[in-house]
Amino acid sequence: MPAKTTRVDYLIIGAGMSGTVLRRFLRSDSVVLLDPNPESYKIGESIIPTHFSHPVLRALIPAVRKLPSYSQKWGTTFVTDAAVASFPLEPQAAEGAVHVAREELEALMRAEWKTPVVRERVTEVDLARKRVVTDRSVYQVEKQILDCSGPAMVVASAAQDIVPIRPVFSRWTYFDVTSLDDSRFWTSVLDGGRDYRRFEPASGRLLEGAETGGWAPSKTTILTAVSEGLWTWQIPMYKANVLSFGVVSRHGPVSDEQLHDLAERTHAAQYTLRRRRAVPGSALHATHRRDGFARRARVPATLDYVLVADACAFADPIYSVGTGLAVNKAIELAETLNDGGWTPAKRDKYCADYEALLKRAVSAFEYWYTGALLKDDAAAAEVQRDYLYGNAFAPGVAKHYGDAVNDSESREYDGDGLPKGAPRY
């Protein structure tokens, strides 16, 4: 028997970070959020400050710090053969920077906001008719299909509109941290003959010499350039008792043997690690891979659909900016749709903004691959400001969002994290 057709104004595909936030901020009585398994494992455990810029998101921070996987994040440490550089976050920004499992964070957001998710899997997208078929239902979309499906890129795949940005391959896993001593990090810097630099936010400069503020590398995301086009990430989780360790290569797929060899040879000296035994069904006791993931849709939006965050483009995972981009783009899109709906002019601006953002992101990643990040003040300042903080994602957000952020320190908020007296979303 054919499935009944349901008519909706907006259909959101994917209840990950962008889809959950979009559903929270979109003011419509006719919207469905689809996801067959919203609590599934996702990579992306280093969260930048702009993720929590909006008061509604900021209200979640106390609960986020109580999640089992939470660990402190003071900033980022970059490591090359020749140099080490610390990029600290100023205290007010560090409040919104955390290391945490994505599935835990997203589950918290859905629970706090009582987000309704329809657990259905998309099986067909007919863009010409704005018709989406799932394993249980058929949806006729009256306004726009909003794709928040992440790397699956459901709508762009249906449109056959995906093109590669560059060949990038990754493999990652998790280790138990059996001992932790930050003094070993400093010893390794000296013994390795590396120059040490620290980025000073106040002056926007890379300064040489010893730390002055009690920098703890074990409370940072560590990014290590191993060789040309090959680098690793290290992210402490579960109060630094578990380390997320990943390898990214521009040269081809990374094998399990390469992953574990690089972990043994290049992990930060403050950690003593133990390999985890594989456990069926446990993402934290497994090895993961993603190949050829630096790709984009040629068209970010039409009058019939809008692609959000990774469902539109994913350039490179260097600065752990994915959730900040997803959150802010989702809020921006919701505010745009709330303010008179989608129009050709809004579509054109959305597409132009995404093109500019992607171009900036690709340029910033080259600062890392070429080593300019650790040598050039201007490159370091741009990466710190636009990506480690996330300011690159904020300019397109609607005016009253900016107003809410600017006066958030002086206003009282209600139980939903909104300023008292503000309109309900």
The residue-averaged pLDDT of 401-424 equals: 34
Out of 1-5, 104-108, 318-322, give the one with best mean pLDDT.
104-108
What is residue 92's predicted lDDT score, i.e. its pLDDT? Answer: 76
Q: For the chain, what is the radius of gyration of the CA atoms?
A: 21
The residue-averaged pLDDT of 216-224 equals: 95
The residue-averaged pLDDT of 215-241 equals: 95
State the pLDDT confidence band at 416, using cuts at 50, 70 and 90: very low
Cα dihedral 245→251→255→256 (10° resolution): -10
What is residue 394's predicted lDDT score, i.e. its pLDDT? Answer: 66
pTM to 2 decimals?
A: 0.90
Q: Are strands 131-134 and 31-34 parallel, antiparallel or unpaired?
A: unpaired
Is the predicted pLDDT of residue 415 greater than 70, yes or no? Answer: no
Give tens-digit pLDDT for 15-60.
999 999 999 999 999 999 999 999 999 999 999 998 998 999 999 9
Tokens at residue 76, please? 């980022």
Give yes or no for a contact between 327 and 18, defined as CB atoms under 8 angstroms apart.
Answer: yes
Give tens-digit pLDDT for 75-120.
999 999 999 999 999 877 788 899 999 999 999 999 999 999 999 9
3-state secondary structure of 412: coil
Residue position matching structure tokens 């990430």: 233
What is residue 141's predicted lDDT score, i.e. its pLDDT? Answer: 98
The residue-averaged pLDDT of 161-190 equals: 95
Top-confidence residue, 391 or 106:
106
pLDDT, averaged across the chain: 89
Distance CA 372, CA 257 (A): 30
What is residue 268's predicted lDDT score, i.e. its pLDDT? Answer: 97
Which one, of 266, 271, 276, 282, lies nearest residue 240 by Cα?
271
Is the predicted pLDDT of residue 424 greater than 80, yes or no? Answer: no
What is residue 366's predicted lDDT score, i.e. its pLDDT? Answer: 87
What is residue 3's predicted lDDT score, i.e. its pLDDT? Answer: 73
How is the chain split among helix, strand and coil, in percent rounded to 5?
35, 30, 40
- List, in sequence order, every residue forming a beta bridge with 151; answer none if it has no partner: none
What is residue 368's predicted lDDT score, i.e. its pLDDT? Answer: 85
State the pLDDT confidence band at 362, using cuts at 50, 70 and 90: confident
State the pLDDT confidence band at 402, using cuts at 50, 70 and 90: very low
Give tens-digit pLDDT for 236-284.
999 999 999 999 999 999 999 999 999 999 999 999 999 999 999 999 9
Q: Are strands 288-291 and 169-180 parallel, antiparallel or unpaired?
A: antiparallel
Distance CA 278, CA 50 (A): 35
Handedness of CA 330, 350, 317, 209 (dihedral sign): negative
